Structure 1
Amino acid sequence: MKILSVPKKDLKQIISIFNREIGRFVFFVFVLFFDSIYFSENVTNSQLLINILMLAGFFKMYFRSTPRVKELMIYAVVLGVGGEYLFSRGLSMYTYRLENVPLYVPIGHAALYGRIFMFSKNSIVRKHHKDVEQLFSIFIIIFATIYLLFFNDIFGFVMTIGVFLLLWKRPKDRLFFYSMYILVAILEIGGTAFGCWKWPSIGFEVFEFLPSNNPPSGISLFYFLLDVSCFFIYTQRHKITWKRLKNIRSITT
């Protein structure tokens, strides 16, 4: 495994950066308990509190980010709202506990997007990106296979294959999306375990030939839409800068 060849000093830095940029977001999984079925039935409905906490975390991260990340985070919130209503309310791909779209969800998408972006663009991580990518890809394959064999998660496995196929000719995006796959999987496991949202037993509650676990493993496939959309809007707003960057890349390659 390539990751074992990374110098210990660099490996420690990568782990530290992972904990700083992504590990903190994992803490939010435990905050989801306050929007759980158990908490709402035995204590009180505190979805409003989680919305406030997520807003606070979002703005804290926003004001500490670079201008580019700030702009991408705003796009992610706007597109996240539209995507949630489309996939959850429109296509019944999954259903939230109160059959709404909690405010913390699209805001969480933006925070997740920003955290992974900063991790994947860090200089020491980029230096050893192939080693990290191999480690993450092995984890993803094992994870999706376990879900397929033990939970009959055909829907998730098909989406996982889709992730690898879409990244086949996009090597520059692999680190970002492998990281996103893992973080989304952790978030989905926590959210569904608490009953904050639920996935149907078949894909889109329509396709019987696609049995699904709750949650399916490869849901990060749909985050491609968020990333591509954010990136497209950014390049359209900064056409001159983006054109200059492409010219530099063509010269260096």
Structure 2
Amino acid sequence: MSVSTSKTFLPAFLKTLGILYLYIFVGLFIDSEYVVKHYGDLQWFANALMVVIFSIVLWKVNSRVRELMIYAVIIGFVGEYLFSIALGMYTYRLENVPHYIPMGHALVYIGVLYFTKTSFTKLHIKQIEKAFIAIILVYSTLFLIFKNDVFGFVLTIATLLILRKKPRERLFYLTMYLSIVFLEITGTSYECWKWPETAFDYFTFLPSANPPSGISFFYFGLDLGCLWLYKQRHKLAWSRMKNLRKIRETKILN
């Protein structure tokens, strides 16, 4: 996984999200009900494979991305035990939190980040945003109509409303939304985890699909948490970067 310098979609996608989606597809299959029924429980192998893949990616990326990946694992670990174990928002196959999951959050985070930094996305950011928004609206509406996914639709609308005033982060979160869609559909299809019929299995006025469409809303917390931790450790460098950004924006306006 690396930042692609290609100015066309396919190479930019394949070198970032393509690699991520392939690993999600294969990695979650190892922990699927199909594998359990035919070959036994191989969650231990999925965990071991994740450690290897995560370590390779961690070694190859630069120091800033490496630090963000570590923060993503920490926040992912806390978030999983909070939302899955404590709040019952969703349930894993063995009613645990598989060890590969927090590291998987970090890989999704970095895969999406790398895609948004490609030459292709920088050249076509507005067109990509419009296309992604259209896909998201169609997807969430279909889930609302055919799966009664009120919970997912509400989260989708909340996400899009927040992003209206976040132009700098918009493409990242739109890409994250679609990446989580792929992740969730793959994981629930493999029966690695499942979502209850209502939000948190408690709010009956919020029926939910399995999976809910807009669940990437909660990845705001992952990104904001990673950035907050990074800023706390690098206050001087972060302040310098903000000042440079203001200078560039002022020059553009003038």
Give the structure-2-normalised TM-score: 0.93
Whole-angstrom CA distance in 1 between matches of 2:48 and 2:8:
32
Residue 227 of structure 1 aligns to which amino acid in structure 2? D
Counting aligned pairs with the same residue, the percent is 47
**Residue 252 of structure 2: aligned partner:** none
**Residue 94 of structure 1: aligned partner:** 90
Alpha-carbon distance, 1:15 to partner: 2.4
**Residue 165 of structure 1: aligned partner:** 161
Structure 2: gaps (5+ residues): 250-254
Alpha-carbon distance, 1:12 to partner: 5.9
Aligned match for 2:31, one of 4, 12, 35: 35
**Residue 224 of structure 1: aligned partner:** 220
Counterpart check, 1:174 vs 2:170: yes
**Residue 84 of structure 1: aligned partner:** 80
Please give the per-residue CA displacement for 1:29-54, whole angstroms capped at 9, x wherever unaligned. Answer: 23312211222133210001011111
| Contact 2:7–2:123 (CA under 8 A) maintained in structure 1 | no
Report the 3-state secondary structure (helix = DSSP H, G, I; strand = E; otherwise coil) of the residue aligned with 1:233. helix
The alignment of Structure 1 onto Structure 2 pairs a total of residues equal to 244
Counterpart check, 1:194 vs 2:181: no
Report the 3-state secondary structure (helix = DSSP H, G, I; strand = E; otherwise coil) of the residue aligned with 1:117. helix
**Residue 247 of structure 2: aligned partner:** 251
Residue 77 of structure 1 aligns to which amino acid in structure 2? V
Counterpart check, 1:22 vs 2:20: no
Please give the per-residue CA displacement for 1:55-84, whole angstroms capped at 9, x wherever unaligned. Answer: 111112112212111110000001100000
Q: 1:73–1:11: structure 2 CA closer, same or farther, 3 Å change rule?
A: closer
Whole-angstrom CA distance in 2 between matches of 1:100 and 1:21:
30
Alpha-carbon distance, 1:11 to partner: 8.3
Residue 94 of structure 1 aligns to which amino acid in structure 2? Y
Report the 3-state secondary structure (helix = DSSP H, G, I; strand = E; otherwise coil) of the residue aligned with 1:208. strand
Whole-angstrom CA distance in 2 between matches of 1:108 and 1:172:
25
| Contact 2:70–2:106 (CA under 8 A) maintained in structure 1 | yes
Runs of 4+ in structure 1 off by over 3 angstroms are none
Aligned match for 2:207, one of 201, 211, 216: 211
Residue 176 of structure 2 aligns to which amino acid in structure 1? M
Cα RMSD, aligned residues only: 1.4
Alpha-carbon distance, 1:208 to partner: 0.4
Aligned match for 2:129, one of 130, 133, 152: 133
Residue 66 of structure 1 aligns to which amino acid in structure 2? N
Report 1:66-77 matches (<5 A).
66-77=62-73
Report the 3-state secondary structure (helix = DSSP H, G, I; strand = E; otherwise coil) of the residue aligned with 2:204. strand
Whole-angstrom CA distance in 2 between matches of 1:127 and 1:233:
30
**Residue 45 of structure 1: aligned partner:** 41
Alpha-carbon distance, 1:224 to partner: 0.4
Greater alpha carbon shift after TM alignment, 160-169 vs 210-219: 160-169
Whole-angstrom CA distance in 2 between matches of 1:11 and 1:49:
35
Report the 3-state secondary structure (helix = DSSP H, G, I; strand = E; otherwise coil) of the residue aligned with 1:132. helix
Structure 1: gaps (5+ residues): 1-9
Residue 242 of structure 1 aligns to which amino acid in structure 2? W
Whole-angstrom CA distance in 2 between matches of 1:131 and 1:62:
32
Q: 1:53–1:130: structure 2 CA closer, same or farther, 3 Å change rule?
A: same
